[in-house]
Amino acid sequence: MIPAAPTRPVAGRPVADLRLHCMDCGTAVAGDTAVGVCPACGGLLDVTLDLPDRIDPAAIGQGLPAAIARSGVWRYRDLLPALPDAAIVSRQEGNTPLYWDDRLSAYAGLTGAFGVKHEGHNPTASFKDRGMTVGVSHARATGASIVACASTGNTSASLASYAAAAGIPALVIIPEGKISGGKLAQTIAYGAKVVQVEGDFDLALTLLRELTTKHDVYLCNSVNPFRLEGQKTIVFELMEQLGWRVPDVIALPGGNLGNTGAFGKALGELLRVGLIDRLPQLAIIQAVGASPFAAYHAGGWTAYAPMAAETIATAIKIGDPASTPRARRSVELTRGLVTTVTDDEIMDAKAAIDRTGIGCEPASAASLAGTRRLVAEGHITADATVVGILTGHVLKDADAVVAYHLGDLDGAARPGSNRPVRIAADLAALERVVDDALHG
Ligand code: F0G
């Protein structure tokens, strides 16, 4: 039998003073149990933080316990929920590189600069680890006996890893046949119980939310505000890498829109504690076939309609993003931009990123493809400084790489495709290949 969802803190497991509030009606909610949505109105919850008036940049990351001193998330502990040291599950996540490459600036149409913050350099190779260290730590602090998520693949890999680190069983629900082999392999290898459901991600998440409302199963999707607290640190770390000088635009893919929600909260908090003095614009990029948020924005926020999602970028193949209200708040706060890109635009931008030797998974490349479109349409000026978030590693979706470069994507070879050649084991044949490579 599965225990019922708890309505009170788990006995004997006191958690520091954790508080939440509803972003719609403001109702205060205790943060010491597994969290879902506002009990009063069903709205999404935010973690309430007591932020100091100022944070001295030199004090950041000082005096941390050894177990988390190397985490690029817990480094920003003054801007995170006060979880007890003993509950924290960390894999030295974060500390991801920020790369600049003139070829990518040129691809985007910028005379300014295009940088990429590579979140694929996290322990399980996506940005999800930043959220998961906080989410699973909160789960542990509240005495969760099982943690669960629905996923397009990266959340599941990350949850499986952090749950294994914490010694808590993990349940993962994925849309059958619709996540990449690499992500499925990670999830299985790290030991999560994997359930494949007939249907898409949106259906899988709905099913899980029914389960977690009824039973004592800790929900680790980005509906959970503790996850988003960790994801804020992408922005914190980026700004610190930039010496707290704010770029003009931060471009990121929009799927379930947790990151978009987290980025707006992060920027608002940095401004409040005096670490930055202005806000960049957020640019949210969705795949054309999975773009309910872009349509909602284009219609002046008047009508929101979920859609049946279809895109090659399986990570963002989501038709009813759970964090839509949070994302709207982030776009409004930053006078942000929202646009869509086709699958071809995504894959061509991915090939450009891969070709620099940096590499990323398809969804990540939406940040470059979208920037290129926004520059071409005049929404971003050519002399702007833009940072794109690469959300996952190139090896996350090897099939997409092979399909692109071997030319069987829609039957046609794409620009920049790099087709392996076959030769007999013969020196003259090999010499011709070298000659071609040098002069061809
Ligand atoms: N990029 C990658 C590589 C992702 O895995 C995701 C989301 C996103 C972008 C979109 O981020 O949801 O915060 O807007 N993947 C989730 C998952 C849904 O289950 O792994 P978002």
Locate the ligand 1 atom nearest the alpha carbon of residue 221 and give its number.
19
Per residue in 218-250, pLDDT (tens digit) is 999 999 999 999 999 999 999 999 999 999 999
Amino acid at 312: I
**Residue 315 φ/ψ, nearest 5 degrees:** -60, -30
* C-alpha of residue 247 to centroid of ligand 1, in Å: 23
- Kindly state if the Cβ of 158 falls inside 6 Å of ligand 1: no
Query: Which pLDDT value is given to residue 108?
Result: 98
Residue 138 belongs to a domain: no
Tell whether ligand 1 has an atom less than 6 A from the beta carbon of residue 327. no
Q: Encoding tokens for residue 96?
A: 């991801």
Q: Among residues of the chain, what percentage have pLDDT more than 90?
A: 88
Contact 221 CB / ligand 1 (< 6 Å): no
H helices present in 69-111, as ranges: 102-108
Contact call for residues 138 and 83 (beta carbons, < 8 A): yes
Quick check: 84 and 142 in contact, CB under 8 A?
Answer: no
Which pLDDT score is estimated for 55? 97
Distance 439 CA to ligand 1 centre (A): 41
CA of 63 to the centre of ligand 1 (A): 33
Instruction: Decide if 193 is inside a domain.
Output: no
pLDDT value for 10: 39
Pairing of strands 19-22, 45-48: antiparallel
CA 433 / ligand 1 centre spacing (Å):
40
Taking the mean position of all CA atoms in its chain, how far away is CA 161?
A: 16
CATH number at residue 258: 3.40.50.1100
* Residue at 291 is within a domain: yes
Residue 189 lies in a domain: no
Residue tagged 């009824």 (tokens): 214
pLDDT on residue 13:
43
- Please count the structural domains in the chain: 1
Whether ligand 1 lies within 6 angstroms of the CB of 361 is answered as yes
**What is the amino acid identity at position 147?**
V
- DSSP 8-state symbol, 28: E
Residue 313 belongs to domain spanning: 98-124+226-405
Is 69 domain-assigned? no
User: Can you give the pLDDT at residue 33?
Assistant: 78
Residue 294 has pLDDT above 60, yes or no: yes
Q: In this structure, is residue 338 part of a structural domain? A: yes
Query: How far is the centre of ligand 1, averaged over its atoms, from the C-alpha of 153 (Å)?
Result: 8
Question: Pocket of ligand 1, candidates 130, 184, 311, 391: which has the most ligand atoms within 8 Å of its Cβ, to mutate?
Answer: 391
Mean pLDDT of the chain: 94
103 located within any domain: yes
Evaluate whether residue 241 is within a structural domain. Answer: yes
